[in-house]
Amino acid sequence: MTFRDEFSYETRPVRVVFRPGAAVTATPGEAARLGLRRLLVVSGSRGEQMARAVADALGDSCAGLHAEARMHVPVEDVDRAVAAVRAAGADGCVAVGGGSAIGLGKAIALRTGLPLIAVPSTYSGSEMTPVWGLTEHGTKRTGRDPVVQPRSVVYDPRLTLSLPVPLTVTSGINALAHAVEALYAPDVSPLVSVMAEEGVRAMAEALPRLAGDPADLDARSRALYAAWLCGACLGATTMGLHHKLCHVLGGTYGLPHAETHTVVLPHALAHNAPAAPQALTVLRRALGTYDVPRALWDLDLAGRLGTPRSLAELGLKEADLTPAAARAAGEPYANPREVTEEGVRGVLLAAFEGGPPDSGSRTEGDRKPS
Ligand code: NAD
Question: Which among 70, 121, 147 is the best mutation to test ligand 1's pocket, defined by most ligand atoms within 8 Å of the CB?
Answer: 121
Task: Report how far ligand 1's centroid is from the alpha carbon of 71 (Å).
Answer: 8
Cβ of residue 133 lying under 6 Å from some atom of ligand 1: yes
CATH fold of 165-353 reads Dehydroquinate synthase-like, alpha domain (1.20.1090)
Task: Report how far ligand 1's centroid is from the alpha carbon of 277 (Å).
Answer: 32
* 99 alpha carbon, distance to own chain's centre: 7
In sequence order, the 6+-apart residues with CB closer than 8 A to the CB of 148 are 106, 107, 109, 110, 116, 130, 131, 132
The answer, yes or no, to whether residue 53 has pLDDT greater than 70, is yes
What DSSP character marks residue 158? G
Binning pLDDT at 50, 70 and 90, where does residue 369 land?
Answer: low
Coil, strand or helix at 141: strand
Question: Which among 14, 46, 173 is the best mutation to test ligand 1's pocket, defined by most ligand atoms within 8 Å of the CB?
Answer: 46
Reported as a single tens digit per residue, the pLDDT across 272-283 is 999 999 999 999
Cβ of residue 357 lying under 6 Å from some atom of ligand 1: no
Binning pLDDT at 50, 70 and 90, where does residue 363 land?
Answer: very low
Residue ranges of domains in the chain: 15-160, 165-353
Task: Report how far ligand 1's centroid is from the alpha carbon of 220 (Å).
Answer: 16
The answer, yes or no, to whether residue 210 has pLDDT greater than 90, is yes
Closest protein CA for atom 42 of ligand 1 = 126
Looking at residue 293, its amino acid is P
For position 301, what pLDDT does the model report? 63
User: What is the domain class of 15-160 according to CATH?
Assistant: alpha beta
Cβ of residue 170 lying under 6 Å from some atom of ligand 1: no
Cβ of residue 159 lying under 6 Å from some atom of ligand 1: yes
> Which atom of ligand 1 lies closest to the CA of 130?
40
- Long-range pairs for 279-282: beta carbons < 8 A, 24 or more residues apart: 279/2, 279/180, 279/183, 279/184, 279/188, 279/336, 280/361, 281/2, 281/369, 282/2, 282/183, 282/193, 282/196, 282/197
Q: What is the mean pLDDT of residues 258-263?
A: 96
Cβ of residue 46 lying under 6 Å from some atom of ligand 1: yes
The answer, yes or no, to whether residue 287 has pLDDT greater than 50, is yes
Percent of the chain with pLDDT over 70: 95
Q: What is the mean pLDDT of residues 318-326?
A: 97
Reported as a single tens digit per residue, the pLDDT across 177-209 is 999 999 999 999 999 999 999 999 999 999 999
* 175 alpha carbon, distance to own chain's centre: 5
131-136 and 139-144: which strand pairing? antiparallel
Say what the alpha-carbon torsion angle 244, 42, 220, 11 is, to the nearest 10 degrees.
60
**113 Rama class: left (phi>0) / alpha (psi -120 to 50) / beta:** left
Closest protein CA for atom 37 of ligand 1 = 126
Task: Report how far ligand 1's centroid is from the alpha carbon of 231 (Å).
Answer: 13
Closest protein CA for atom 35 of ligand 1 = 99
What DSSP character marks residue 149? S
Cβ of residue 171 lying under 6 Å from some atom of ligand 1: yes
Model-level pTM? 0.95
